[in-house]
A and B are shown apart, each in its own frame.
Chain A
């Protein structure tokens, strides 16, 4: 082109980033990569390789080893062998390694950026300005946590060998999110990169070697889904961390059930982008660009559902369309493009299919007038308006540059629409009214809420899902707990800890010469005593097989009713910590007032001495006090993220929880299991001990007198395993705790996969409930909450 012509047209020209260094690096490896195991490059046992290609032009980039089960085995063995030394290093020593990795990443930042763009198809601007800087930041941040672990996380140790499976949309960033906290906390790692995008993980492996990381601390086994499955199932792995689709996450949840492996899952999303009429609409438009046209929309937390207040919808749509017309799709290595290539043809077909579906369903499609490059896998930015929640495109994660727009009339309706999804990864809220913003943020079911911004990330902020978007957090202090265990867990017992039987056993006494008045414990649902739906009762026997009474034989319908009652009591979640504490103190007070009766009951049920019974009641009162104290003190953080903003990390209740109570310590075990959940604002459906249910049913009379609102704690007696299964499968239960045997633990974890509810089980390892180190503490509160990070930029 002549400069004279360009002076008239003022077009953008090509602005390619050089790929020479990346090609040289690939060539230096003969464009063939083996597995990185124990600090060496090892050929796959099978001898099989697959190809990775550049989605922008379909060119071959390199041959990649396909790791099989044997290779996974070797990698796990290497990680296991490296573990004792690595875990025994001082925090400072591990901090030095992580610091070195951060520096190495910065030194090779452009090579990483170009390689990532070539392999994935994402724009060089994004890898250069977003992905790679975030990666370096993640290692720096966690170098700090390595330094601080022993003081800031006293009482915790490493989990062990961690298997990590990462997706193709942010290959190196997801690697960083996985590896940095794992290493900082003293774990060793076997990482499986996504088959489409293995290259930057392999460059990272090389950098680990350059940084002098001990062999076996980081192993990289490339391969496809089967490689990941082998890693998931491997018995030598202590934890699995996975980022990917909800479908695969569910498979992993089931596959690891009962194995004792810790699990964190970061899954799909259909995140709402809520626009109120008082927002800066021009800024909203750029927010939309960042939300759905970042990384071709292949972002788990993409703001893919635009919810606009009716009064400004038309105006906003017009602005968005005008902006879309200006977006540039093309060569990912061109520094002047906004949208690169879709990662693979299969993904492109999925997008095309869902868009076709949207058109069929009657939504209004809009795409810019210009055409995408014909070579390579490209898809234009796409806006659907006139979309309803009933449309498939409003519910399914498209994972492409496709935005679906709906309108709302009121803030309450915005929240309803926002939460009308199985997912709960992120949300973006746009308004200039801080009252409105901070009113909506807690109501949206999402792990991350961005006010007047979107898709901003930082190592200091936890990221992760609600609902079927997974569980666990990555980043922030909250993310560290995925990579540690409490040291006290090592002291748990293989058998239940039961009270010693007394020599002479107490009897419940009546008036001489008269039969005792029959007491009929019922189920306790929604603050009322109700008869079991079945019409059956279960006998309760004392230690010498003496019939002590009967309890209701609860069934699935009773569970259903209890769950509904629990949902109806949602006001408990928004009650202040102080208000909840007051109720719990009152509960403790009323329990203490009847302590002799409760002590006698424990003795009667277990055959322990009255003194032991009294000790358990005293411990129970103290336990309630502990959680009453914590109700207004277990609070969040303001994270030091790098944006000018306040990042609030707020612990929120899980929601409605099923709690399968321990079969030991009739009163203390029951209360230790349910009170922390309630203290944090959850509503509980409790299934008491099958052997000693009467202590639990006695409690409901105390609940009645203690102002515990109806529905906050529901008690369904009956056969524990059957009821546990109903709760584990219930799709409107958000979390489940199980304190029984190994088989039950496995069942609960397995069946929780239906709605990916948070499952916390004991794997048949028993606590001594009388010991506060076992039976209470922040571990319970952490399991009773999920952290929501709310980003609030400021500045007028």
Chain B
């Protein structure tokens, strides 16, 4: 796949020194951000073939996720099968993309399900991502967090979704946040690290922007909005602030950090809004799984229904699409 080639030519984001002056200079005007976020999906839209192609792209950028207390190898295996074949082959063929090898960006599970997922995904290009560091609240000792990362990497997870200590942000302890995330990154080793800010618990957009920058300096491969467990998860204004931070970081350092909105993205229309956001604010580089992931569980079903509608011209039903 082209994405793989690209990955080779792009150096991994390094850990850079913490620049507190930079953090101090960050300004975010909430009303203006909300106004832009509100018009993004009104200034752009995609229809017909373009929409179908964009929805397929959304699937390629999806971390198909299950993060529940009652997860067992049984439902995780089912999910992995869906990740390998996210859309019915007949529909793909009618769209002329039967040979695209379409699959989701990753499968995202708790540590205990890594092995089951790896088994089920064997032979595919699909990485397993594990949430870590006391997900979702992160209220456990630091040593245990580092151990958890190490265990997951050892178990074969190629991507680790860590949660930051919200307290560091709320108390303005940027050095502490930086050190925490640097430790996580070091513990991740070769595995790519997605840093979950839990923006719904950070109180202000300015905090979101500052935390984004600190995490990027600390070597986050991705910054991610939410665990999906906060009362407010991925929103467009929050995402706009984070992707602008990524842009600023890229302009200043030349390093491309990825973005992962997670939680609450359930419809194909929402997925398109986020793709538009990425294309407008960051450009096409950020429309690939290398730099963009949706954290989602139910989104795929809606996209499948929309794709069937595109192919057949009639509205679809969810039971017509194999469940994950």
- Contact surface of A with B, Cβ cutoff 8 Å: 1-4, 6-15, 125, 129, 278-284, 286-287, 290, 326, 335-336, 338, 432, 452-453, 643-645, 793-796
Contacts and interface: CB of A to CB of B under 8 A. Distances in A.
* Chain B binding surface, main DSSP class: helix
Interface in B22-44: 27-36, 39, 42-44
Interface in B43-94: 43-50, 52-54, 56-57
A80 B30 CA distance: 51
B49 A286 contact: no
Nearest to B28: A280
B27 A278 contact: yes
Given A7-B56, A286-B36, A796-B204, A452 B46 contact: no
Contacts of B312: none
A12 B244 CA distance: 21
B317 to A, nearest CB: 23
B116 interface: no
Question: Taking each of B39, B48, B50, B56, which has the highest tally of chain A beta carbons within 10 Å of its own beta carbon?
Answer: B50
Given A452-B29, A453-B32, A7 B100 contact: yes
Given A7-B97, A12-B50, A13-B49, A336 B56 contact: no
B284 interface: yes
Given A3-B56, A7-B57, 15 more contacts: A3-B96, A4-B53, A4-B97, A6-B49, A6-B52, A7-B56, A10-B284, A13-B49, A15-B46, A125-B43, A280-B28, A280-B33, A286-B35, A452-B29, A796-B205
B279 interface: yes
A10 B279 contact: yes
Interface of B: 2, 27-36, 39, 42-50, 52-54, 56-57, 95-97, 100, 204-206, 244, 248, 275, 279-280, 284, 287
B244 A796 contact: no
A4 B100 contact: yes
B298 to A, nearest CB: 23
B27 A279 contact: yes
B44 A12 contact: yes
A3 B57 CA distance: 11
Contact of A335 (B27, B33, B45, B280): B45
B307 to A, nearest CB: 10
B321 to A, nearest CB: 18
Contacts of A4: 53, 96-97, 100
A291 B316 CA distance: 43
Nearest to B288: A10
A200 B279 CA distance: 35
A413 B191 CA distance: 54
A9 B54 CA distance: 10
A381 B56 CA distance: 33
A12 B29 contact: no
Ordered nearest first, which 3 A-B pairs have the shortest CB separation? A283-B32, A6-B53, A13-B50
A249 to B, nearest CB: 32
Contact of B97 (A3, A453, A794, A796): A3
B279 to A, nearest CB: 7
A13 B47 contact: yes
B44 A336 contact: yes
Contacts of A335: 44-45
5 contacts: A4-B53, A280-B27, A280-B32, A335-B45, A336-B44
B177 to A, nearest CB: 20
B280 A645 contact: no
Contact of B31 (A3, A9, A290, A793): A793
B33 A283 contact: yes
Nearest to B30: A795
Contacts of A290: 35
Nearest to B95: A3
A9 B284 CA distance: 8
Contacts of A286: 32, 35-36
B31 A129 contact: no
Contacts of B2: 8
A644 B50 contact: no
Nearest to B52: A3
Contact of A452 (B32, B42, B52, B204): B32
Contacts of B284: 9-10
A99 B53 CA distance: 45
A13 B47 CA distance: 7
A290 B33 CA distance: 13
Contact of A453 (B31, B205, B287): B31
